[in-house]
């Protein structure tokens, strides 16, 4: 019996070494999130109707003016606050270019309202709790939060410039420069 147990144990060890890692679904973990491809320059903006924190409806593919659509992970966190405040501080110049700004995160309406009020943000914040907007723009979602990616749209609703990996500090100036191109 002892010899049989040793053989069985050796076989188990051999097969265990050859076995592939279990998939997250089978091991109880969450599935890895795929990394989508962001919309390319020249692509039309997705034809989505969204509701901003102000209650105003916006049709992303039919804004009729230049726009910045910027994705950020979470309201009222250090990096996201820096980015939002920089855009706010350049608001007169951005508005002077004829553009509107739409910030998108996976936070809800109440969170956006509080964030906009706390920092006196004069632009639109749009909730994307189901990740539909991020998916349409090809923005990655990790741990339930959108990656920091920005798009500048022209007046016809086409992508004019993409910032695929945004650093919050200095991004407001980058956006303003892209609007002036």
In a domain, 7, yes or no: no
- 139-144-146 Cα angle (round to 5): 30
The tens place of each residue's pLDDT in the chain, 181 residues long, gives: 555 444 444 443 433 333 333 333 333 444 445 567 999 999 999 999 999 999 999 998 889 999 999 999 999 999 999 999 999 999 999 999 999 999 999 999 999 999 999 999 999 999 999 999 999 999 999 999 999 999 999 999 999 999 999 999 999 999 999 998 5
What is the enclosing helix (H) or strand (E) of 87? helix 78-89
* CA distances for 107 relative to 100, 103, 157, angstroms: 20, 11, 25
**What is the residue whose two structure tokens read 């950020």?**
72
Instruction: Give the C-alpha separation, 30 to 143, whole Å.
Output: 10
In a domain, 157, yes or no: yes
Residue 62 · residue 45 · CB < 8 Å = no
Q: What is the pLDDT of residue 35?
A: 63
In a domain, 19, yes or no: no
| Owning domain of residue 45 | 34-180
In a domain, 143, yes or no: yes
Q: What is the pLDDT of residue 181?
A: 59
In a domain, 24, yes or no: no
Establish how many alpha carbons lie within 13 A of residue 24's alpha carbon, considering only the half-sphere containing its beta carbon. 5
Residues 6+ apart with CB under 8 A from 66: 97, 98, 99, 100, 152, 153, 154, 155, 160, 179
First to last CA, the chain: 81
Establish how many alpha carbons lie within 13 A of residue 114's alpha carbon, considering only the half-sphere containing its beta carbon. 9
**How many separate domains does the chain show?**
1
Tokens (6 digits) for 75: 């309201």
Q: Which of 80, 87, 126, 149 is catalytic?
A: 80
Task: Report the CATH number at residue 144.
Answer: 3.40.30.10
| 17 assigned to active site | no
In a domain, 96, yes or no: yes
In a domain, 129, yes or no: yes
Residue 175 · residue 154 · CB < 8 Å = no
In a domain, 25, yes or no: no
Neighbours of 36 (CB within 10 A): 15
């Amino acid at each position: 019996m002892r010899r049989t147990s040793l053989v069985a144990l050796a076989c188990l060890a051999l097969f265990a070494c050859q076995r592939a890692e279990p998939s997250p679904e089978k091991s109880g973990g969450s599935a890895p999130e795929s990394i989508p491809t962001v919309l390319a320059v020249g692509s039309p903006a997705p034809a989505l109707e969204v509701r901003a924190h102000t209650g105003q409806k916006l049709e992303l593919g039919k804004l009729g003016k230049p726009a910045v659509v910027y994705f950020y992970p979470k309201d009222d966190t250090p990096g996201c606050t820096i980015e939002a405040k920089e855009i706010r501080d350049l608001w007169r110049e951005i508005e002077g270019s004829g553009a509107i700004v739409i910030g998108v995160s996976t936070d809800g309406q109440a969170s956006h309202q509080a964030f906009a009020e706390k920092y006196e943000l004069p632009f639109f914040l749009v909730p994307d709790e189901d990740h539909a907007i991020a998916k349409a723009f090809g923005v990655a979602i990790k741990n339930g939060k959108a990656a920091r990616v920005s798009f500048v749209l022209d007046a016809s609703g086409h992508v004019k410039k993409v910032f695929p990996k945004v650093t919050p500090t200095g991004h407001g100036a980058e956006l303003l420069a892209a609007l002036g191109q």
